[in-house]
Chain A
Amino acid sequence: MNAPENPWLSYTAVIEEVRSEIESVTTLTLRLQDEGRAAQYRFAPGQFNMLYVPGCGEVAISMSGPVSDDGNRIVHTIRNVGRVTQAISQLGPDDVLGVRGPMGTPWPMEVLEGRDVILVTGGLGMAPLRPVVYELMREPSRFGRRTLLYGARSPDLLLYARELDAWRSSGIEIHLTVDRADPHWHGHVGVVPLLIDRLVDLAPSNTRMFLCGPEIMMHFSAKSALARGMAQEHVWLSMERNMQCAFGMCGHCQWGAHFVCRNGPVLRYDVAEPFLQVRDL
Chain B
Amino acid sequence: MSVAAEEVSWMDRNGLQRLIELLADEGHEVIGPRIDQGAIIYDSIRHVDELPRGWTEDSQPGTYRIQPRNDQEHFGFNVGPHSWKKYLFAPLTTVMRSRKTDQGWVMDSPQPELRRFAFLGVRACELAAIAVQDKVFMGAGTMDPEYQLRRSHLFIIAVQCTQAASTCFCTSMGTGPECHAGFDLALTEIEHGFLVVVGSDHGRRVMQSIDTRPASVDEITDGVRRRQRAVNQITRRLETDGIRDRLLSKLNHPQWDDVASRCLSCANCTMVCPTCFCHSVDEVHDLTNEEILRNRRWDSCFNVDFSHVAGGSVRDTTRSRYRQWLTHKLATWIDQFGSSGCVGCGRCITWCPVGIDLTHEVAMLCAEDAS
Q: Which residue of A lies closest to B310 (CB)?
A: A81
Contact (Cβ within 8 A) B324 A281? yes
> Is B87 an interface residue when CB atoms closer than 8 A count as contact?
no
- Is the beta-carbon distance between B309 and A98 smaller than 8 angstroms? no
**Do B107 and A9 touch (CB < 8 A)?**
yes
Contact status B316-A280, CB under 8 Å: yes
B contact residues around A6 at 8 Å (CB): 95-96, 109, 145
- B288 CB to nearest chain A CB (Å): 10
Task: For the complex formed, measure the closest distance between the CB of A26 and the CB atoms of chain B, giving whole angstroms.
Answer: 15
CB-CB under 8 A from A10, the residues of chain B are 96, 98, 107
B130 within 8 A of A: no
Kindly state whether residue A250 has any CB partner on chain B within 8 Å. Answer: yes
Given A12-B104, A249-B142, A254-B328: A241 in contact with B251 (beta carbons within 8 A): no
A-B pairs with CB below 8 Å: how many?
127
Query: B306 to A252, Cβ gap below 8 A?
Result: yes
Prevailing SS type, chain A contact patch = loop
Residue among A10, A58, A262 having the largest count of chain B Cβ atoms under 10 Å? A10
A20 within 8 A of B: no
Contact with A along B287-331 (1 / 0, CB 8 A): 001001010100101000011111000111101100110001001
A281 close to B142 (CB less than 8 A): no
Contacts of B323 in A (CB 8 A): 281
Other-chain residue from A3, A9, A54, A278 in contact with B251 (beta carbon distance below 8 A): A278
Which of the candidate stretches B196-204, B278-286, B346-354 sits at the interface with the other chain?
B278-286
Q: Is the CB of B320 within 8 A of A274?
A: no
Min CB distance A102 to B, Å, is 14
User: Within the complex, what minimum Cβ distance (angstroms) separates A281 from chain B?
Assistant: 7
Q: Is A251 an interface residue (CB 8 A)?
A: yes
- Residues of chain A within 8 A (CB-CB) of B332 are 254, 256-257
By a CB distance below 8 angstroms, the chain A residues around B296 are 8
Count of residues in A whose CB is under 8 Å from the partner chain: 42
* Given contacts A241-B309, A249-B137, A12 and B107 within 8 Å (CB-CB): yes
CB-contacts of B131-167 with A (<8 A): 136-137, 141-145, 148
Contacting residue for B279 out of A250, A256, A262, A278, CB 8 A:
A250
- A84 CB, nearest partner CB in chain B, Å: 10
Of chain A, the residue at the smallest CB distance from B136 is A249
Closest to B282 in A: A57
Query: Is the pair A241, B314 in contact by a Cβ cutoff of 8 Å?
Result: yes
**Does B90 sit at the interface, judged by CB under 8 A?**
no
Instruction: Give how many B residues have a beta carbon under 8 Å from the other chain's beta carbons.
Output: 53
Q: How far is the CB of B37 from chain A (nearest CB, A)?
A: 29
Is B248 in contact with chain A by the CB < 8 A criterion?
yes
**Cα-based distance from A89 to B202 in the complex (angstroms):** 56
Residue of A nearest to B280 (CB): A244
The reply to whether A250 and B278 contact each other, CB–CB distance below 8 Å, is: yes
Q: State the CA gap A280–B148 with chains docked (Å).
A: 34
Which residues in chain A, 242-262, are within 8 Å of chain B measured between CB atoms?
Answer: 242, 244-245, 247-252, 254, 256-257, 259, 262
| C-alpha spacing A241/B145, complex, angstroms | 25
Q: How far is the CB of A20 from chain B (nearest CB, A)?
A: 19
CA gap between A247 and B308 in the complex, in Å? 18
- 8 Å CB contact of B109 from A8, A55, A256: A8
Chain A residue nearest in CB terms to B148: A4
Closest to B308 in A: A242
CB-nearest residue of chain A to B109: A6
> When chains A and B are docked, how far (Å) is the Cα of A7 from the Cα of B146?
11
Measured CB to CB, the nearest residue on chain A to B285 is A55
A11 beta carbon closer than 8 Å to chain B:
yes
Chain A contacts for B143, CB-based, 8 A: 4, 7
Within 8 A of A (CB), among B247-286: 248, 251-252, 277-281, 283, 285
Q: What CA separation (Å) do A244 and B301 show in the bound complex?
A: 13
Q: B107, A98: Cβ atoms under 8 Å?
A: yes
Interface bits B96-107 vs A (CB < 8 Å: 1, else 0): 101010001111
Is B36 positioned at the interface, with any CB of A under 8 Å from its CB? no
Chain B's closest residue to A252 (CB) is: B306
Q: Given the known A-B contacts A6-B109, A8-B95, are A244 and B281 also in contact in the complex, defined by CB atoms under 8 Å? A: yes
Q: Is A237 an interface residue (CB 8 A)?
A: no
Is the CB–CB distance between A12 and B105 below 8 Å?
yes
Chain A residue numbers with a CB within 8 Å of B320 are 279-281
A96 at the B interface (CB under 8 A):
yes
Interchain CA distance A241-B311 in the complex, whole Å: 10
Question: Complex Cα distance A262/B278, Å?
Answer: 15
Asked if A240 lies at the interface with its beta carbon under 8 angstroms from chain B, I say yes
Structural contact, B136 and A55, CB atoms closer than 8 A: no
Instruction: Check A56 for interface membership: any CB of B closer than 8 A.
Output: yes
In the bound complex, residues from chain A placing their C-beta under 8 Å from that of B292 are 54-55
Within 8 Å by CB of B301, from A58, A251, A278, lies A251
* B90 CB to nearest A CB, Å: 14
Point out residues on B near A: beta carbons under 8 Å.
95-96, 98, 100, 104-109, 111, 136-137, 141-145, 148, 248, 251-252, 277-281, 283, 285, 289, 292, 294, 296, 299, 301, 306-310, 314-317, 319-320, 323-324, 328, 331-332, 335-336
Q: List 16 A-B contacts (CB under 8 A).
A: A4-B143, A7-B143, A8-B96, A12-B106, A54-B107, A54-B289, A54-B292, A57-B281, A81-B310, A96-B104, A241-B307, A249-B279, A251-B277, A254-B332, A281-B320, A281-B324
Known contacts A8-B109, A98-B98, A242-B307; 10 additional CB pairs below 8 A are A9-B109, A10-B107, A57-B281, A57-B283, A98-B105, A241-B309, A245-B281, A280-B314, A280-B315, A281-B323
| Top 10 A-B pairs, shortest CB-CB distance | A251-B278, A280-B320, A257-B335, A6-B109, A8-B95, A257-B332, A247-B142, A54-B98, A9-B109, A81-B310
